Structure 1
Amino acid sequence: MNDRTVFQSVAKKHVLSLPPQASVREAAQVMTRANVGSVLVIEPPDKLVGILTERDLMNRVLARSVDPDKTAVREVMTPNPICAPPETSVADAVQTMLERGFRHLPIVAAGNRILGVFSIRDALPREIGAAISQSEFNEQVNDALG
């Protein structure tokens, strides 16, 4: 059985992005229109500086009563997100996401070319199961060695 890569599994191949100075409301509207849970924050011409996710909007905007019209995305985004090369297996990507506590992983090729965003929703149940098994195994090994 060949493992799918993150690039093969991404449903929407186009990159949804905004500049860092875009308003939080604009970001939320873009995400809602595209029915996605994140938007990449890119400084022109194509430098990835952050990612804004639904969780960022909830924790850093709504919970803190931040004005979405007067707040720039750069103020509430997750800066310098962990990225994955396109050949990363889905199980490895899911394992990283489980261990680090996030659900969106930018896919970046050689030369920092942004190809898309892998979401936990793009994974199949068996791939999630394999990632959980590997994470549990790693935890047991770390406990034994600790």
Structure 2
Amino acid sequence: MAPSSYQSPSQGDKSEKTYSQTSQSNLASSTTTISKLLDEKGNDVITVRPNDTISTVVTILRDKGIGAVVVTDQNRAVLGILSERDIVRRMADTPGQTLPQAVEDLMTKDVLTCAPADSMIDVLKRMTEGKFRHMPVMDGTSLVGMITVGDVVNFRLTELEYEALKMKQMIVG
């Protein structure tokens, strides 16, 4: 039953154009790509070599304020990834002996990567399911960036704030 204040349109009433959500507007965030995120974040990737020491990596992580580094060879081919979490686990296993160890002994060798054209939502799901926070971005065989769960969340929050502002402007006029 319609509310008592509702009156159905009558012949001769002027129709007002209304705005509604569309499948395109509702799916916009799910089609946002990693490339768009990298356009805003930048493509800087801190890399180390497999024979570098954990001590060197710890200093880099501290100085750069990052949580992981990509391990590459001299041609920048990705060999692995090393995160703070990897280092902390090794420190628990080898107290007082971790810092002189080589990166190749701690790094994760089976690195999951994403591509610039990948959907941000799909990548976030993969990161959540795999329980890791850092993912190198590869364009073919070239390392073109690094994203984190935090990057994706911050990007999406900014999108939501913008969408809310647009809706408010539409409502207010």
**Common topology (TM > 0.5):** yes
Q: How far apart, in 2, do the equivalents of 1:54 and 1:34 lie?
A: 13
Alignment gaps of 5+ in structure 1: 129-146
Identity within the alignment, %: 23
- Tell me if the contact between 2:37 and 2:155 (Cα under 8 Å) persists in the aligned partners: no
Decide which structure has greater strand share: 1
TM-score by length of 1: 0.78
Match of 1:50 among 64, 80, 84: 80
Larger Rg: 2
Matched, 1:24 2:70: no
- Number of aligned residue pairs: give it: 126
2:152 aligns to what?
123
TM-score by length of 2: 0.67
Amino acid at match of 1:113: S
SS in 1 for 2:69: strand
Amino acid at match of 1:6: I
Residue deviations 1:50-105, cap 9 Å, x none? 00001101112x21126244200000011130110111111111100111111111
Match of 1:74 among 96, 104, 116: 104
Q: How far apart, in 1, do the equivalents of 2:85 and 2:154 lie?
A: 23
Residue deviations 1:32-64, cap 9 Å, x none? 11111100000111110000001101112x211
Match of 1:114 among 136, 143, 146: 143
SS in 2 for 1:71: coil
Q: RMSD of the TM alignment (CA)?
A: 1.9
Stretches of 4+ moved more than 6 A in 1?
none
Q: Which has the higher contact order (CA 8 A, sep 6+)?
A: 1
Alignment gaps of 5+ in structure 2: 1-27, 158-173
